[in-house]
Amino acid sequence: MKTSKRTKRWRILLPLVVVALMLMVATPVFAQDGGPGGEVDDITLSLNIMWMILGGFLVFFMQAGFALVETGFTRNKNVAHTMLMNMMVFCIGAIGYWLTGFAFQFGGVNAAYPEVARLGVVAGEWAHSPITLGDWTGQLATPLLRFGQFGILGGSGFMLAGVGTNVGILAFFLFQMVFMDTAATIPTGSMAERIKFIGFVLMSLWVSMFIYPLVAGWIWGGGWVQNLGRSLGLGNGAVDFAGSGPVHMIGGAIALAGALVIGPRIGKFNKDGSANTIPGHSISLGVLGTIILFFGWFGFNPGSSLGFLGGFRNLAVIAAINTLLAGAAGGCAAMTYMWLVGPTKKPDPGMSVNGILAGLVAITAPCAFVAGWAAVVIGLIAGVLVCWASVWIEKLKIDDPVGAIPVHFFNGVWGVLAVGIFANGNPDTAAWNGVESAVTGLLYGGSTQIIAQTIEVTSIFVFAFGLSYVFFKVLAAFKLLRVSAEVELQGLDLPEMGTLGYPADWEPSDLDEKDLQALPGATAKKALGAAD
Amino acid sequence: MKTSKRTKRWRILLPLVVVALMLMVATPVFAQDGGPGGEVDDITLSLNIMWMILGGFLVFFMQAGFALVETGFTRNKNVAHTMLMNMMVFCIGAIGYWLTGFAFQFGGVNAAYPEVARLGVVAGEWAHSPITLGDWTGQLATPLLRFGQFGILGGSGFMLAGVGTNVGILAFFLFQMVFMDTAATIPTGSMAERIKFIGFVLMSLWVSMFIYPLVAGWIWGGGWVQNLGRSLGLGNGAVDFAGSGPVHMIGGAIALAGALVIGPRIGKFNKDGSANTIPGHSISLGVLGTIILFFGWFGFNPGSSLGFLGGFRNLAVIAAINTLLAGAAGGCAAMTYMWLVGPTKKPDPGMSVNGILAGLVAITAPCAFVAGWAAVVIGLIAGVLVCWASVWIEKLKIDDPVGAIPVHFFNGVWGVLAVGIFANGNPDTAAWNGVESAVTGLLYGGSTQIIAQTIEVTSIFVFAFGLSYVFFKVLAAFKLLRVSAEVELQGLDLPEMGTLGYPADWEPSDLDEKDLQALPGATAKKALGAAD
Amino acid sequence: MKTSKRTKRWRILLPLVVVALMLMVATPVFAQDGGPGGEVDDITLSLNIMWMILGGFLVFFMQAGFALVETGFTRNKNVAHTMLMNMMVFCIGAIGYWLTGFAFQFGGVNAAYPEVARLGVVAGEWAHSPITLGDWTGQLATPLLRFGQFGILGGSGFMLAGVGTNVGILAFFLFQMVFMDTAATIPTGSMAERIKFIGFVLMSLWVSMFIYPLVAGWIWGGGWVQNLGRSLGLGNGAVDFAGSGPVHMIGGAIALAGALVIGPRIGKFNKDGSANTIPGHSISLGVLGTIILFFGWFGFNPGSSLGFLGGFRNLAVIAAINTLLAGAAGGCAAMTYMWLVGPTKKPDPGMSVNGILAGLVAITAPCAFVAGWAAVVIGLIAGVLVCWASVWIEKLKIDDPVGAIPVHFFNGVWGVLAVGIFANGNPDTAAWNGVESAVTGLLYGGSTQIIAQTIEVTSIFVFAFGLSYVFFKVLAAFKLLRVSAEVELQGLDLPEMGTLGYPADWEPSDLDEKDLQALPGATAKKALGAAD
């Protein structure tokens, strides 16, 4: 942020000095391609990309966390199925996002980042961003569908065609791909233990190729929700630093649609409407997964500054501290709540896990916009909210084996709204989404930001939930969604994957010394001899 | 690539420019706020913070390592309890450290880093540091208790009040918080399988809010132990690069106090005084945890340079190599020792794990101050020391289920003292703790450094162990420390946490086709139908 | 450290100097040690080292991935043995590589990186490289065996002697050490469940101290294969960005030699020559390990740019994207292949895992040289190739419990050759290995690159496989290679390691209240009392 300004001032002042001296030598020295100016630009680009791409690697690793949380909190008989979904969602999603997703989401990206206004963007015009990642002029500039400031769908960058030499865009692709993957993985939790593997594959394509790019593009890809500040004067437009909305609420909304259509697991609800607790098979794996997710979140949130110089660095560091505080507060709140008023009156492991995740989801949108105390408050509320929401959805007869909906949907909503309440008008956020003022919530006198945030929530719910509900209905109609009751009762591992999660040791049968000697392989006999 | 060429051209052309000018144009051009000078300052700050905060993320991930090592090397019946302690210690500790811990430890921080003297600090005066993280003037400058150069307790920065816009301090808070967390997690190992969860919660608050900040502040927060060089002429004062003392020995001392007060697990010692081996339930998890800890140590030690330019980069790289070599040497030494002279005459997995960890703990203080060969020697000694210490504490009837005391306490002591022996007077360490000379141990002619190190060891033992012993006695008196014998024999998971670590698969009971059709949820019947 | 001082000095001195001199005083001001030029050099070095060393840390973490994949896909009864091999291979290897390996591999390193030619290297002469890591003049400049351009073995840097103050070299040592470790770990997979622990220890020394340094030095350490461009005009000489050849194919070749010599596990092959499937004990651990490996590969491939400015940054980012795409494509291809034409007609978990790993291995050499679409093609082919190769080696009666040979050997070959086919002549790769042209494969008109790649493959196979075959034969002759048939049938854990992987909970026997009160330890009685 300041960096760019300084470069500018430097570039403006220098020629004057040089001209005054009546010497033309300075220009070549400081020309575009050489001298400290050019080197500093190169260093700046490197630092920004390094920060973002390292963040992307950490977010990738969250896939291991999701795999373990989902598998740990489901049953032994479905281990291979649940693990494989979490491994393959990345593979399928990466290809799907490369084919069409990235193009739909960012193919007509409009500047949505700080300094856009300062850099001379005229209100009503479109520019190409983010400015931290080099010059994107003329690239990702083709919308498929747009009405004035209301962008709907991008239309360039399919299979990264045409962007092959712009490393800023390539790195951005990697970063955005892993975010999409997080959204795609969330519904595997709510439909675990009963979804057909082919249904999962189709869902992965649905999320990576279309529904996530469509809706997330509205908030991050220069779409209409992001531009509500410039178009309708609603604060800075919808503001979401790292994706409580675009990632978690989208994922949670799809998870909700999926859970509704696929229905509860056999035995989850009794005839009297009461619910049974179906414990997962491994607290070790579940808790390990939670710590991995927390670790990865330090890439998710701070990495979303997309840069690490000047104001971008400041926002990244603030995001890191707030992530730490909100996740911790969420865990403490949920543990304490369950200990004091939960059914077991004990510090419940499962809800403590979900409290941490809830705090992390809730701070994801506001992480760079709020003070530390606000992060603690947001986390504490998230930790209680996730406990309540878990009860609500059970009352609605929705079966969500790992709590994907309470964690990602409800706290995604809470996180998006929290920006509109707690954003503290930090000057480093001025010009966000091309609106000159800083991002400011209700508590700091910003009265319209909360409206933009509410529109973000509403649009995500209507479209991500609505369209996905139809999608899952179609899958169900073609009998591609749910395994048979026999398979479900037996466990999905053998029928769907061909192997158990934890097979018993295979042993050679009927083996005597003669057999051993008759075995093919030169060393079998020798091995036997060595045993004497 | 291009970089080198540009620098070259710059160096050739610049003189011509300067000669031609004969004007004092340089000053405005390179002024504080603009031009390459200002940009370079910004880049420098970004690089330093990026290095440190990435290190902090890696240290955070060590929490997963501790969780797995402790749980893997304890019994199945206590899995949920042990995992949850290791997850919640971070959540509770983060909030506790935010509330008071950081303020007590660093609220009156005195410059304790290289260059302080060179930068014009007058002996006997106080400055604010570390200089790699920007300008802290006027912040964290309020001690609660100090006698001249003898700082005891800090008194500003509670809940990060007043430091909200200084990102150097914010990033430093995150980094220090995860270090405190490591210390807080160590005692959960020595008291595992018998500590009440409420006792664990109170212990987490004790460590994060008071005892760790108090004692670690003496060595890192500008306290009296760190200033022994300036005040009494003892070498560079106590020198501890990454915390063999402040983190591991403090954690180990608390672990020792806790193990003494809580007493051994039922059955650990026989009537004749001999000890039984109580194996853990999962070598997989234990070894995985060890590798994660080793991985995280690359954030712990190299990250403690708090910067990555010039000498700080050099120290960070040296720290990384030495961490690698000492950890590896520790593992080789312990494995070989057990293979040759251990009771089983086999390469014992548990002791190999602890040998690696011992090597890592021992190199933590000296990692940036010693040569590679010395790192190998320190690691080899640590690997044998941990085997011996494990025998010693069993002879003293101390039951330490995962070897927290041999690893962290004994090798913490060894690491602190090793600085006084092997520190090689690297010029990059000159001015450490405000003393002009480089850090130099006995083998390189530094005769007083070892005294400062001994005082570090002594002060940690007296205060961290002593005060914690009293603290645990109080907990025990209020019956908050140890579970009942019944609970211990049954396993802590159900009585304390309300769930088993590895529950058997829940299955619906008495289910026939009629039941299935009667289940609530629209798809149950459909699912059954699909099964036909 | 130096940074701040230099900035200050610069600001104060510059005006005075400029005014007073009126002559060519600028040169000393901007000399090597001060001024923005010097600062930019320092920043450049820091950025490059930071990127590489963080990559090294990620590669270290791959050790956890290998441990879990190998242990997850082998049996319960060998868990402690398999985990320990994977933990200790790093410890033993680090010491072995420090003692002799690094010196053999890089002790006579010749510039093998871009810009070498541009920077004035005369064809036929030797320079010291990589240029991203500072000035290595006069260091690592002593070959042990070399014939003109045909370097065979390095001869300096044993125990890092003489390089102690060059942090570029130190960081490079760490990075190269973890690459060697990857190669050393691969054969533990093909020989799992039957290799003696002492045989594994000796194999670790063989790989780390000699065979890997020898052969990998030919491709990366300035050896004859790397110089085929300068010496014989074959493209840019053998080009391998991150080691499909030096790491994976070497490791795979050793794994193949080991599996041949040690022979199949008892019961793997039936008398009629057909093979039995011996499933591993934990899909959870195996899949977790795979995700960890994928994560670590983002250090492995992008980190191999050894720098992050200008063209090096560009190559690193391209490497990251291609790694992502090829790994994902490999997983999709193998899963789909097994689903459609595999024996179970299901999305087989084990082959899906190996498909991902195959894609990653295959893209390792070409990752920075090919377009995104080519990465997808390379990955898709790798995913099918690994399925075929698994069948081939079973037909050859080779027993490879975890598929190390299909993954690392076959796809290592494929990756090395893929450079010669798909390399797209990116200008950022000009001057690679001191040849002025960019790296260009068959599809882009480069006709001789494929010959150099073929020679890489051939030389690795002949020497890494050949010499290792002899090595394992010697081990077998001394009865150091394979456990007895009894031990193998029982499982290696108790006989070899002295402990089971998953011991049942130890419980005190014959305990009554009197016993409890008689136990040593002050709190036992109290604990019992508390239970009343």
Interval B384-395: pLDDT, tens? 999 999 999 999
For residues C322 and C339, give the distance between their C-alpha atoms in angstroms, rounded to a whole number: 25
DSSP per-residue codes, A234-264: -TTSS--SS-IIIIIIHHHHHHHHHHHHH-P
Q: Cα distance from A292 to chain C (closest Cα, Å)? A: 11
Q: What number is the average pLDDT over the span B278-282?
A: 97
> Is residue B472 within 8 Å of B257, Cβ to Cβ?
yes
Residue whose C-alpha is closest to residue B354's, from B331, B325, B329: B331
Cβ C291–A64 below 8 Å, yes or no?
A: yes
Supply A410's token pair: 């409800």
Tell me which of B46, B84, B532 to substitute to probe the interface with A (most A C-beta atoms closer than 10 Å).
Answer: B46
Cβ C95–B290 below 8 Å, yes or no?
A: no
- Closest in B24, B264, B281 to C15, CB measured: B24
For residues B51 and B53, give the distance between their C-alpha atoms in angstroms, rounded to a whole number: 6
Is B40 in CB contact (< 8 Å) with chain A? yes
Residue A273 in this model has a pLDDT that exceeds 50: yes
Q: Cα distance from B261 to chain A (closest Cα, Å)? A: 24
- Closest in C281, C325, C483 to A505, CB measured: C281
pLDDT single digits (tens) C214-269 = 999 999 998 899 989 888 999 999 999 999 999 999 999 999 999 999 999 999 99
Residue A6 in this model has a pLDDT that exceeds 70: no
> Is residue C372 within 8 Å of C336, Cβ to Cβ?
no
Cα separations in angstroms, C319 against C322, C325, C332, C373 = 5, 10, 20, 13
- Closest in C310, C313, C344 to A498, CB measured: C344
Is B291 in CB contact (< 8 Å) with chain A? no
- Chain A residue closest in CA terms to B5: A34
Is A46 in CB contact (< 8 Å) with chain C? yes
Is A435 in CB contact (< 8 Å) with chain B? no
For residues B200 and B196, give the distance between their C-alpha atoms in angstroms, rounded to a whole number: 6
In percent, the amount of chain A with pLDDT more than 90 equals 73
Q: Label residue A147 by pLDDT band (50, 70, 90).
A: confident
End-to-end CA gap in chain B:
67
Residue whose C-alpha is closest to residue B18's, from C27, C26, A27: C26
3-state secondary structure of C145: strand
End-to-end CA gap in chain C:
63
> Is residue B277 within 8 Å of B403, Cβ to Cβ?
no
* Residue B153 host element (H or E): strand B150-154
- Chain B residue closest in CA terms to A28: B13
For residues B192 and B186, give the distance between their C-alpha atoms in angstroms, rounded to a whole number: 10
Residue whose C-alpha is closest to residue C98's, from A460, A266, B321: B321
- Chain C residue closest in CA terms to B313: C46
Q: What is the DSSP pairing of strand B143-147 with strand A150-154?
A: unpaired
Is B391 in CB contact (< 8 Å) with chain A? no
Chain B partners within 8 Å of C511 (Cβ): 266-267, 489
User: What is the C-alpha radius of gyration for chain B, rounded to an integer number of angstroms?
Assistant: 26
List of residues 6+ apart from A122 with CB closer than 8 A:
none
* Alpha helices for C73-132 (secondary structure H): 79-96, 102-106
Residue A510 in this model has a pLDDT that exceeds 80: no
Is A329 in CB contact (< 8 Å) with chain B? yes
A473 Cα distance to chain centroid? 25
Q: What number is the average pLDDT over the span B94-121?
A: 73
Q: What number is the average pLDDT over the span C283-310?
A: 97
Exposed / middle / buried, residue C525 (Cβ in 10 Å: 0-12, 13-18, 19+): middle
Residue whose C-alpha is closest to residue A246's, from A223, A275, A274, A273: A223
Cβ A83–C349 below 8 Å, yes or no?
A: yes
pLDDT single digits (tens) A175-218 = 999 999 999 999 999 999 999 999 999 999 999 999 999 999 99
Chain A partners within 8 Å of B10 (Cβ): 29, 34-36
Is C220 in CB contact (< 8 Å) with chain A? no
Residue whose C-alpha is closest to residue A354's, from A161, A150, A72: A72
Tell me which of B2, B17, B39, B178 to substitute to probe the interface with A (most A C-beta atoms closer than 10 Å).
Answer: B39
Cβ A264–B520 below 8 Å, yes or no?
A: yes
For residues A448 and A450, give the distance between their C-alpha atoms in angstroms, rounded to a whole number: 5
Q: What number is the average pLDDT over the span A151-165?
A: 89
Chain C partners within 8 Å of A68 (Cβ): 284, 288
Is B44 in CB contact (< 8 Å) with chain C? yes
Q: What number is the average pLDDT over the span B46-66?
A: 98
Chain B partners within 8 Å of C523 (Cβ): 261-263, 476, 482
Cβ A49–C317 below 8 Å, yes or no?
A: yes
pLDDT of residue A70: 98
For residues A22 and B20, give the distance between their C-alpha atoms in angstroms, rounded to a whole number: 9
List of residues 6+ apart from C474 with CB closer than 8 A:
none
List of residues 6+ apart from C57 with CB closer than 8 A:
B58, B295, B298, B299, C299
Residue whose C-alpha is closest to residue C49's, from A446, B312, B523: B312
Is B476 in CB contact (< 8 Å) with chain C? yes
Residue whose C-alpha is closest to residue C381's, from C349, C421, C415, C347: C415
For chains B and C, CB pairs below 8 A equal 325
| Peptide linkage before C130 cis (omega within 30 of 0) | yes
Cβ A523–C261 below 8 Å, yes or no?
A: yes
Residue whose C-alpha is closest to residue B185's, from B218, B158, B212, B210: B212
Cβ B373–C159 below 8 Å, yes or no?
A: yes
> Is residue C500 within 8 Å of C83, Cβ to Cβ?
no
For residues B358 and B379, give the distance between their C-alpha atoms in angstroms, rounded to a whole number: 7
Question: pTM of the entire structure?
Answer: 0.91
For residues C333 and C359, give the distance between their C-alpha atoms in angstroms, rounded to a whole number: 9
Q: Cα distance from B283 to chain A (closest Cα, Å)? A: 13
pLDDT single digits (tens) B355-373 = 999 999 999 999 999 999 9
For residues C408-434, one letter each, b for 16 or more C-beta atoms within 10 angstroms of the residue's C-beta and e for the rest, the string is bbbbbbbbbbbbbbbbbbbebbbbbbb
DSSP state for residue C120 in the 8-state scheme: T
> Is residue C244 within 8 Å of C365, Cβ to Cβ?
yes
Supply A217's token pair: 């593009």
Give B164-204 as a 3 state SS string: CCCHHHHHHHHHHHHHHHHHHHHHHHHCCCCECHHHHHHHH
The total number of residues written for chain A in this structure = 532
- Chain B residue closest in CA terms to A7: B35
pLDDT single digits (tens) C432-470 = 887 888 999 999 999 999 999 999 999 999 999 999 999
Is B284 in CB contact (< 8 Å) with chain C? yes
Residue whose C-alpha is closest to residue A321's, from B243, B57, B128, B129: B57
Is B495 in CB contact (< 8 Å) with chain C? no
* Residue A49 host element (H or E): helix A35-72
Is C178 in CB contact (< 8 Å) with chain A? no
Is A185 in CB contact (< 8 Å) with chain C? no
Residue A7 in this model has a pLDDT that exceeds 80: no
> Is residue B322 within 8 Å of B419, Cβ to Cβ?
no
Cβ A497–C280 below 8 Å, yes or no?
A: no
3-state secondary structure of B356: helix
Is B425 in CB contact (< 8 Å) with chain C? no
List of residues 6+ apart from C203 with CB closer than 8 A:
C184, C187, C188, C191, C195, C254, C258, C471, C472, C475
Is B478 in CB contact (< 8 Å) with chain C? no
Chain C partners within 8 Å of A511 (Cβ): 266-267, 489
Sign of the dihedral defined by the CA atoms of residues C417, C418, C424, C427, in that order: negative
All chains having 3 or more CB pairs closer than 8 angstroms to chain B: A, C
Q: Label residue A120 by pLDDT band (50, 70, 90).
A: very low
For residues C179 and C186, give the distance between their C-alpha atoms in angstroms, rounded to a whole number: 11
3-state secondary structure of A15: helix
> Is residue C324 within 8 Å of C310, Cβ to Cβ?
no
Cβ B261–C500 below 8 Å, yes or no?
A: no
B309 Cα distance to chain centroid? 23
ipTM, two decimals, is: 0.90
Is B523 in CB contact (< 8 Å) with chain C? no
Chain A partners within 8 Å of B521 (Cβ): 263-264, 268-269, 397, 399
pLDDT of residue B431: 80
The total number of residues written for chain B in this structure = 532
For residues B390 and B396, give the distance between their C-alpha atoms in angstroms, rounded to a whole number: 10
For residues B168-191, one letter each, b for 16 or more C-beta atoms within 10 angstroms of the residue's C-beta and e for the rest, the string is bbbbbbbbbbbbbbbbbbbbbbbb
Residue C431 in this model has a pLDDT that exceeds 60: yes
List of residues 6+ apart from B506 with CB closer than 8 A:
A75, A267, A276, A277, A278, A279
Q: Label residue A430 by pLDDT band (50, 70, 90).
A: confident
Q: Cα distance from C326 to chain A (closest Cα, Å)? A: 9
- Chain A residue closest in CA terms to B97: A325
Which residues 48-67 on chain B approach chain C with CB closer than 8 angstroms? 50-51, 54, 58
Cβ B505–A77 below 8 Å, yes or no?
A: yes
Average pLDDT value over all residues in chain C: 87
Comparing C141 with C198, the larger pLDDT belongs to C198
Which residues 341-380 on chain B approach chain A with CB closer than 8 angstroms? none
Cβ A332–B88 below 8 Å, yes or no?
A: yes
Supply C459's token pair: 């030389």
A455 Cα distance to chain centroid? 20
Chain B partners within 8 Å of A483 (Cβ): 527, 530
- Closest in C283, C295, C328 to A94, CB measured: C328
